[in-house]
Structure formats: structure tokens, C-alpha cells
Chain A
Amino acid sequence: MSEVSTGDTTTVNLTIDGMPVTVPEGTLVIRAAEEVGVQIPRFCDHPLLAPVGACRQCLVDIPDAGNGRGFPKPQASCTIPVAEGMVVETDNATASKAQQGIMEFLLVNHPLDCPVCDKGGECPLQNQAMSNGRGESRFDGQKRTFAKPINLSPNILLDRERCIVCQRCTRFAAEIPGDPGIALIDRGARQQIGIAEGRDFSSYFSGNVIQICPVGALTSAEYRFRSRPFDLVSSPGVAEHDACGAAIRIDHRRGKVMRRLAGNDPEVNQEWISDKDRFAFRYADAEDRLRYPMVRDADDPSTASGHRAPLRPASWLEAFELAARGLAAAGGVGAVGVLPGGRGTVQDAAAYSSFARDTLGGADIDFRARPLSAEETRFLAEHVRGRSEVTYADLDAATEVVLIGLEPEDEAGTIFLRLRASTLRQAQAGAQRIRTIAPLLSPGSAKLGAELVRCTPGDEAAAIAGLTDVAPTAVILVGERLATSPGALDAAAALADTTGAKLGWVPRRAGDRGAVEAGAFPLDAHARDADQIIEGVLAGDVRALLVGGVDPDDTGDPAAFLAALDRAEFVVSLELHPSEVTRRADVVLPVAAVTEKTGTFLTWEGRPRPFPKVFDKPATYSDAEILGQIADRYVAMESAAPPLPEGLAGKHPRRAAAGAAVGAGAFRLSTWKLMIDNGSLQMGDKSYAATARPAIALLSRANLHRLGTTVTVTGDRGSITLPAQAADVADDVVWLPSNSTGRGVLADLASPGSGVEVTSA
């Protein structure tokens, strides 16, 4: 390692504890020491945060600064860069005395309540007090005290007595997500972390401060006092809440996840994860989790009035058998629609795909459980499937990033943090330019320093065509929401073609990209997409549905989806929890949660993110395993119906593109999902849920003035009344969070981009 010298970096040779080391110019001594395996004790230092030199724990002796003269006093190795010929002693008498002296000071006001502290057992203060401290403290005076924990947010608690004010948390908040809701207040020994009066530490990434706290001062409401580090078993995992593939560490005890931490993956999420990735895991242990298969007996005379027989528990074998029989009875190709949803692993998606194409002999399949369009289908096939054009590293290197229909802070947390890091870093050289085509400059975009290219929802194509100065070194990121904006995906692809910029597609769900690669969407022009499958059911052409993790309220037309479930002769549902689908299904098969199966997610880049099984639970099967069982039985069945006549599929006219205005209202509806909302995988942690941003409609200042601070938004599917605030949106635009009220915007209001009315409530 010490011999490595790259061509374009100037390197520096120095000696640390007698060992020669060669590092790039500008490296800090504490980092150089790590290269030769020397761990200098530290608290405030963090490799991903700017140096601050506050705790002074990393003092080292530098008898030669490289100029033949030494420093008369120990130096903080976290702030001093290496120099050619420098000699560093981290463990001699001078350095050891300095480190022990600082450690003794740190413990003066620390409560030493390790036996009851959540951090005990994994605490840098505890560990380094052992390795670099005195055996006994000479302090026998009065410690300063504080009232026991105070809330920094509904979810994060601060025990100020334990805090050693290293500033890691405040620096993280200010530097990494750009949410400076916490700051140092007061001074001297009473210096503490504080929040502004009446305001929380509000950040989608707040949980990271718990993890980087070098003492037990920061805890989460749901985890504190729940377990000890030495009782936990840790398994690596991949976050299932977005398409970013953040590495996580799952800490569990007796078959139950106790907490999740950020994994360290320099190429993906570095050492940070969103609060959703950290706290939203209790859905798997929810009371109402489906634990056994259920089937509905065939109609009997008593249900002739239209009520179907109730679901009853069944054995796995019976459920597999009935599922296979029901699908076969529906009539084969064209008569069965497969809707796998976007939450599965790539193995699950491949199983659905194989089940549709091979087992059923070419049934229609579409993973998209959201508004979609034929244009998007074509885009996925031509510009996404089989390509891996953009990676996180490209985001770092890009001179310019264009975001279209994508709000990274809400929809792709890791991308947000990577973009923030690269903008901040490049701010010194030649700033990275970020532009966002959106109806408003969201808080997240503002934190990225993005320039807003204002655009009315649905008119993205024109806005993209208006970008004439995109550099070949740019990266264009398009979000899945663009599917509802006619021509936008084509325009983005054309922009990438003409400029040479790289193009990346960023879906919201962890399984979406894997489903694209697995071909779990219409690959030829005659195949039905998800919307057409639903239409097919309603028209009586499609008779059976095989549904994975799909929430009807997420789909382009929730009412039609529910009607189709009612109309279909046979529905098989693979689900975690009871839902509107399972309630209407004839066979319900409980599936394994991510912790209960092994698998692979593909990130938005196409990067495989394999993860092992955390819990080996009996009779718990992944979607793929269940489909395999059904397929075996289906194939064995002689009664599989012959394929439908040629040309039946596709005989129905395609619907108008989803983005075309449906309602006649004066306002165009802009909407996306906030990171923390009513999503079904976020249930079970009230403290986490309380950190969600409130559901607020955003209007132009003039409209707010005219309509007041509570408004009713009415679309073709219903109306929503909620508080309103002013934002920099156009006068004919209203923005609402997609899934923060009731059943969500798609079910309760209207389709994104359509016309709605806004009235004073």
C-alpha cells in the first residue's frame, strides 16, 4: 500500500511509528496512520466530515515536521496534513500522555453510566478509554448535570450528560444532508447540542447521527433501552425502500429485527442511509402479517346473491394446487394477467416473468404498480433494459446533472446525498451544475443548489427540448414519474442522444430495475401493459389475475383496479399483509419479507446488490419459491386450456396517455411521494412516522392569498382538504404529496398532471 503511487497524484513519504508510509499530498496524518494499521484514538474525526480538531483526542508527537524541526507540543493528527520527511510518533511517552490527559478530561463530565447505556459494548468512548486512558480517573469532584433526555425530534433523543460535544452530529446535519436543525448552544462545560425554539431537528437522514455519535448521547425513541449490542446478531442487508441499494446492517435478536444501521459501502451509500432505510422495518413483524395460505371455496348456492365465500386457512399444498387449477381454468395465454409489483428481488421478478412467459405460455405481465404509459414501456426496453450507463461514480464526476421528474431527497435518498457531496466538493474547483425540471424548487433541490427549470406538470417534454446547453459530460436522471408526462421520456432520450450526456432512469421501488432486467413488462407491441390488463379484466377478456405486492391505490386508476379484482373470475395474491387485493383474492399466499429470503436487488444503475437470508423461518417462502410450486402443478395439469386465438391481445384500443389532462379544473396537479408517508412498508414505528413532513398543498403566493390557508382540491376522483402554503409554483399549479393523506392522491383526487379545482375550504 505504501508503495502505491498513482500517476496524477503527488505523493508524500513520511514515517509513522517507525513505519514508512506514502500517501497522496494533503492526506491528514490520522488517515495516513490508518494506511499502516495505526489507529489513533479519535472522537470528532470522521472521514466523511470536514476536520474540526475539537476533541483533541488524536494528539500525536511530531518530532520532525519534515523540515528538521519538530513541533514543541503534541499536534491534532486529524487536522494536520502530511509533509515530506515528517516523523510522527503516535504511541511514545509524549503522545500517550497527551492522549491519556484528554481522555481523563473527557471523562470528567461524562456520567460513566455504561451499564445502562445503549452504546455500552460498542462505544468508542468506552473502548478508547480502555485503550488510551488511565486506569483510574483523578477527578473526584462534582459532575455537571442536565435534565435527562430531551427530544431533538419526535424520533431522536439527546442525553446531554453523555455528550462529549464532538460536533459529529451537528457537522453531519450541516454538511451531509444540509439540514442544520441542530447546533451547539451555551458554552464551557454547559455547551450542548440544541435545537431552535419550537423547531425540530427535521431531516430525512437524522438517524445517522445516532450511529456516528461516539457516545450514547443520541438514541432513537423506539430502540433505546431495547437491547444491548452484545445480545445482537448482525447480518448484512440491502435497503428495500428505494432503488438506491443502500448497504445496511440488520441487528436482530431471537428472530426479530431490533434495529438497522448503515452499512459501509464507499461505492454506493458510503456510510449513510435514510431514516426510511433505518427505521421502517417493523412491517415484517406486524401483528397482521399473513402467516398461512388462505383459499376461498368455490361459489355455492348460498353465495349466489353475489357474496363470495369467505377466505379460509389452507395448507400450502392445497393452496398451490388451487392456485394452479384456478389459473389453468381461466384459459391460459391472454386470459391471465400477471402483476408482480415492484418490491421483489430480481429472482422474484424473474420467477414472475418465467411463470408468465414459460409456464402460462406467454401471459401478459407488467411489474409497474403505478401510472405508466406505452411511451415508458418503449423507453424501458430501449434505454434501460440491459444497459448500465450511469453509476454513482458518474454522478460524482459529472460536470452537470439534469434532474427530470425526480426529487432525489424524497425518492432516492442515496442519490441526494451523493449529489450534495459532489456539489460541495466541486464547489471548490468548478461547481457542479444541477438543474431540475420541475414545477417548483423543492426543499431538496434547494439543498442541492439546483437551478429550477420551471415546468407545468405534463409539459416536461417542451422543457427538455428547451435545454440547449447540456454538456457531453453531463448526467441526465429521469424519474419514473415522467411516464405520465407525454413525450417527456422520448425527449430525455433524444437530449442524451444529441448531447452525448449519460442517461439514467431512477425508479422508486427496490425491485423495479430488477423487474425491467427480468423482462417483467410488455416486451412486444401486442402484449398488454398493466393498465391494459385491468381493462382486459373489465372487458371480460382477461379472466384471472396473479398479483404480487401491488397496492391498488398506487396504480394509475385505483377504482378500475379494484373493479377488475372484483370482476376477475380468479385472483391469486402473494402478499405480506392483508390488503384490498387479498380481500378480493381466491388464493392468498403469504410471502417472505426481505429478511426471510436471500436475493438480489438491482439498483437504479443496474448494480446487483445481493443479500443473504437473515432469518430461516419454517414454511416461509419467497415469491419465487411459491411460483415454482404453482408452476410445477400447473405444468402437470392436463387441463391447461389452449391458447386464445391470435390477435385477441391488443384488440382493445389503447387508452389515452395517462398524462393527458382528464379533469377540467383550472389547476394542473403536481405530486410526488414524500420519503416518509403512508406507505405500507413504513407502518409500525410511531416515532419515525411523526417525523414525516406534514401533508400540505403548495400554491402560488397569489392563490394562497386568495384561497386562504386551508384549501379543498377537487379532481375527477374526489377531493382532499388540507392546509396550504405558498411556494414558487406557477399560478395554475397545485402540488400535493401523493400518499400522505387518506388513500392518496391517485385514489382520492385525480391523476398527476390532470386538471383539478382548488377552492377555499
Chain B
Amino acid sequence: MTLPDASANGSSANGSSATGPSGTGALMPVLTANWGLERAWTLASYAAFGGYQALDVALGMTPEDVVETVKASGLRGRGGAGFPTGMKWGFLPAESEKPRYLVVNADESEPGTCKDIPLMMASPHTLVEGVIISSYAIKANRAFIYVRGEVLHVIRRLQAAVREAYAAGHLGTDIHGSGYDLELVVHAGAGAYICGEETALLDSLEGRRGQPRLRPPFPAVAGLYASPTVINNAESIASVPAILKNGAEWFAAMGTEKSNGVGIFSLSGHVTRPGQYEAPLGITLRELLDLAGGVRAGHELKFWTPGGSSTPLFTAEHLDVPLDFESVAAAGSMLGTRALQIFDETVCVVRAVLRWTEFYKHESCGKCTPCREGTYWLAQVLARLEQGHGSEDDLDLLLDQCDNILGRSFCALGDGATSPITSSIKYFRQEYLDHLTHGGCPFDPAASTLFAQEVLA
């Protein structure tokens, strides 16, 4: 997919001023607040916007107090699982002979997920400042940002920001005269979805082939180079400076009771103005669609993913589900990475699910049997159904295969691979059967394309 351009798409909703958007109460730009500024990715722009002030606030506190602040803010992991960030930091052993590491997971590869890459593209210093504060909090003197290898432009921008930060004394030795030292390494992945799994990421970062590790030991005890390690999502870490600057109460006051703060919602697909919409957790898709100009003109919502392709599908009946961790889970899906892929009625759900399944088959690392063999098999059964071959029994076969994968695989990749299949059969069983009676896909694939107007005219 094409990257949403912050200035072209997002800014229409996010506004270009530091004071936030006008006229849309639901939006709350924090991470995205400076994206519309002139050359927002430069240190000069970031500093003029008040950048690296939070670092001074943090360095004026004890590391323990920084951890407490983040705990009190209620910040939960933005990588999908929603584990409380401050609590994760607290899992590091109090004393250890080995060095501690902070590793930032910026291997954003989930189909539909596109928040960290725009963030690092538009304002890499937000992440760099977050890394410094977070490393200080966990007493790490070396940090790594593991960036998805395919996004070379983002890697370059991030590297430039790190270079600027070193030159300005935000990184290196005796940061801001505090006596605190930090080295920050930007590491590029090599094109494997599995390396977004935190322990596979650690293997990859160590120079090995990325495959998930057996836990325990957990990374907090034996992570990178068998040393105590905190791994956080890029957006989680990027959220830290604002929390330090504005206070834990400010952050905790936003969002819902158990899902505090703001998050970036990435709208893509059949939506009038796709892009990044930063809002308090608990906003609904209906509200977000209002902000984004609705589903593409002349069409209606058919299904959507709340948090990327690994989260079970929602339909139009879920338009008012508050997008926070609890409400989405209660409705049968997961908040995930707030990657809202919008599909209108021109889309064949079977075809969409087949595409995702082919992705999982391609990205299965191969370590465990159910994911390796299961995704391989699922793709064949789905392809057969999509072509109108097979039988209704194949739906039960698919569901049974998914049952044999879900919860049996080594990591969440296999679990995620089953989500689109089981949820699509749940909501669109008849559409699968239509393929059999129709002798193939009853949809015109061209109708779902963005150039459909021209093609069909």
C-alpha cells in the first residue's frame, strides 16, 4: 500500500498548528501534532515545537520516578497486546551484572498497520526523545531501534535524526550534563514479518535468523545478548515525552477507564480521506469515518479490521464499538494496532481473506508445525473455494484447521492467521457458498479498485 502522506492526508484532520485541530472535538493530536510543520523531521523544527524539553524534565527526576510516572499515566503497549508499559519496565531485575537494553520494535509489517512508519517519517525526534527518556528510566546505556528493512526512506530519516541528536548532545555521553550516557543504534530488518515478534526480533538483532524464542526466560530477564531487555513498540516509546512533559494525569484523563490516553488510528482502504487520525482511545469507527469523509462516495461499509489483518473482522454492526482494548475484545476482536482497513460492498471477502492467508503462508517462519503447515494448507483450501471449486464441507475443514492452529502454534503469528478466516466465515458464510453456486467469484475485482470509476465508466 502507499504510505499516507502526513501533509496531504493527515493534516486535513490533524491540523497543522500546535494547538490542535479545529472543529473536530474527537481528535487529540499529540504525537501527530507537529507533523504538518515545515520540515517537521528536523531537529530545528522539533526543538522549536518544544522538543527535548521532556528530556530535561525526565533527567531532573530519578529513573524510578520516571517509571512511576509512566505507570501512573496508564500507557499501554501500542504494538497490539496493550500490556501496561510502566509495568513492563518494572519487570527488569533490580540488580544485574549484565547491561540493560531498550529495544524499540519499529518492524511495522502487519497488513493494514501504518502508524509507526509515518510517525518516524514525519517526526523521528519524537521517537528519539522517547528512547532517551525510556532508557534513562530503565537504566539502559544502549538502545536499539529495529526498523522494518523495506522502508529505506524512513531508516534514513531516523538515522539523520539520531545523528542530529548526537550532535546536539541529546545522545552520547553526559547527556544534558546529567552524567547519563546513551548510545542509540538504528538497525534495519531484512524483510520478515516474524521479526516483529519480540523474541524473533531479538534473535534478528543479534545477527541470527529471526524465529521466536522459547519463554521463559522472558526478555526482561534474558533478552538481547541474554541481558535484561525492555522491548516496546515505537508508538509506545514515542508517547513517553508527552507524558513526561504534560504529566501522567493529563494522559490518564484521556481515553477510557482502562485504556488511557491517545493513539494513532490509521484509516485505509475505501475511505474518502485515508490517513492518520490521532484520538483518545474509545473513539468509534463511526466518528472516525465522519472525520475522514466517510466510506468512498457511493458505497457502503461491508467489513473492516479494527487492528490489522490479525484481528478478527468487524462489520457495519460494529460501527459504534468504542475502540479501546476492552470494548473491542468484548465484541470479539482485538484493538491491535488500530489499523482500520475499510472495505466497501465491492470487495469479495473470500478474495480478501485469501490474500491475507497467502501473506501468512509467505511469512510463517516455519518453526512450529501448525503455523508452517497450517497456513500452507489453508491457502490451498481458500484458493479452491475462491475459484468456485470445493464444497461446503471445506468451510468446516477450514474452521477445524483454524481450531487446530489457534492456541497451538508457537507464537501469535499462527493465531493471527486464523482470525480473518474464522471471522469471515462467521459473518459471511453465505458469500463463501455463493462462490460454489456461482462457479467462481461473483464479484468484479475491478469494482473495488480506486480506478474503478474510470474503468467502469
Q: Which A residues lie at the B interface, using CB under 8 A?
A: 51-57, 59, 72-74, 79, 97-98, 101-102, 104-106, 108-109, 138-139, 141-142, 144, 164-165, 183-191
Contacts and interface: CB of A to CB of B under 8 A. Distances in A.
B376 A187 contact: no
B373 A105 contact: yes
A165 B377 contact: no
B252 interface: no
How many chain B residues sit at the interface, stated as a range, is 20 to 34
B366 interface: yes
Contacts of A142: 380
A189 B373 contact: yes
B366 A190 contact: yes
B377 A188 contact: no
Interface in B353-374: 361-370, 372-374
B409 interface: yes
A187 B365 contact: yes
Given A79-B214, A109-B376, A101 B362 contact: no
Contacts of B194: 187
Contacts of A184: 209, 211, 366
Contacts of A106: 369, 373
B375 interface: yes
B192 A187 contact: yes
A52 B214 contact: yes
B408 interface: yes
B9 interface: no
B407 interface: yes
Nearest to A167: B367
Given A101-B403, A141-B380, A188 B368 contact: no
Contact of A191 (B192, B365, B377, B404): B365
B225 interface: no
B87 to A, nearest CB: 20
A73 B406 CA distance: 9
Contact of B366 (A53, A102, A138, A165): A165
Nearest to A139: B377
A74 B373 contact: no
Contacts of A165: 366-367, 372
Interface in B325-376: 361-370, 372-376
Contact of B369 (A56, A79, A185, A186): A56
A188 B211 CA distance: 11
B364 A105 contact: no
A56 B408 contact: yes
Contacts of A102: 369-370, 404, 408
- Dominant secondary structure at the A interface: loop
Contacts of A97: 404
Given A102-B408, A187-B364, A189-B376, A138 B370 contact: no
A101 B402 CA distance: 10
Contact of A73 (B361, B377, B407): B407
Contacts of A188: 361-366, 372, 375-376
19 contacts: A53-B214, A54-B368, A54-B369, A56-B368, A56-B370, A73-B406, A74-B407, A101-B401, A105-B377, A105-B404, A139-B377, A141-B381, A165-B366, A184-B209, A187-B365, A187-B366, A188-B363, A188-B364, A188-B376
A141 B377 contact: yes
B410 interface: yes
Nearest to B194: A187
Contacts of B61: none
B366 A191 contact: yes
Nearest to A110: B373
Nearest to A78: B214
Complex A-B, nearest 5 residue pairs according to Cβ-Cβ distance, in ascending order:
A191-B366, A101-B404, A73-B407, A105-B373, A141-B380
Given A57-B369, A165-B366, A185-B209, 16 more contacts: A51-B214, A56-B410, A59-B408, A74-B408, A97-B404, A105-B369, A105-B374, A105-B404, A109-B373, A109-B376, A139-B377, A141-B380, A187-B363, A188-B375, A189-B364, A189-B373
Interface of B: 192, 194, 209, 211, 214, 361-370, 372-377, 380-381, 384, 397, 400-401, 403-404, 406-410
B376 A108 contact: yes
B13 to A, nearest CB: 38
B386 to A, nearest CB: 14
A190 B376 CA distance: 10
Contacts of A144: 376
Contacts of B369: 54-57, 102, 105-106, 164
B408 A98 contact: yes
A686 B335 CA distance: 62
A312 to B, nearest CB: 66
A73 B407 CA distance: 6
Most buried by B among A79, A138, A189: A189
| Interface hub of A101, A105, A138, A142 (most chain B Cβ within 10 A) | A105
A108 B377 contact: yes
A185 B366 CA distance: 10
Contacts of B380: 141-142
A186 B374 CA distance: 17
Nearest to A73: B407
A101 B404 CA distance: 5
Nearest to B383: A141
A190 B366 CA distance: 8
B200 to A, nearest CB: 11
A98 B401 CA distance: 11
Contacts of A190: 366
Contacts of B400: 101
B259 to A, nearest CB: 23
A55 B368 CA distance: 5
Contacts of A55: 368-369
A57 B375 CA distance: 17
Given A56-B368, A187-B366, A108 B373 contact: yes
A139 to B, nearest CB: 6
Nearest to A185: B209
Nearest to A164: B369
Task: Pick from B364, B376, B384 the residue with the most CB of A within 10 Å.
Answer: B376
Contacts of A139: 377
Contact of B407 (A72, A104, A109): A72
Contacts of B362: 188
B293 to A, nearest CB: 39
Nearest to A79: B214
A183 B368 contact: no
A50 to B, nearest CB: 9
Contacts of A79: 214
B370 A189 contact: no
Contact of A189 (B214, B372, B406, B409): B372
B42 to A, nearest CB: 39
B456 to A, nearest CB: 35
Contacts of B365: 187-188, 191
A54 B367 contact: yes
Contacts of B403: 101
A74 B194 CA distance: 23
A189 B368 contact: no
A139 B367 CA distance: 21
Nearest to A104: B404
A144 B369 CA distance: 15
Contacts of B376: 108-109, 144, 188-189
Nearest to B384: A141
A144 B400 CA distance: 22
A183 B410 contact: no
Given A73-B408, A188-B363, A105 B370 contact: yes
Contacts of B381: 141
A105 B378 CA distance: 11
Nearest to A55: B369
B209 A101 contact: no
A55 B404 CA distance: 13
A666 B171 CA distance: 57
A32 to B, nearest CB: 18
Contacts of B368: 53-56
Nearest to B407: A73
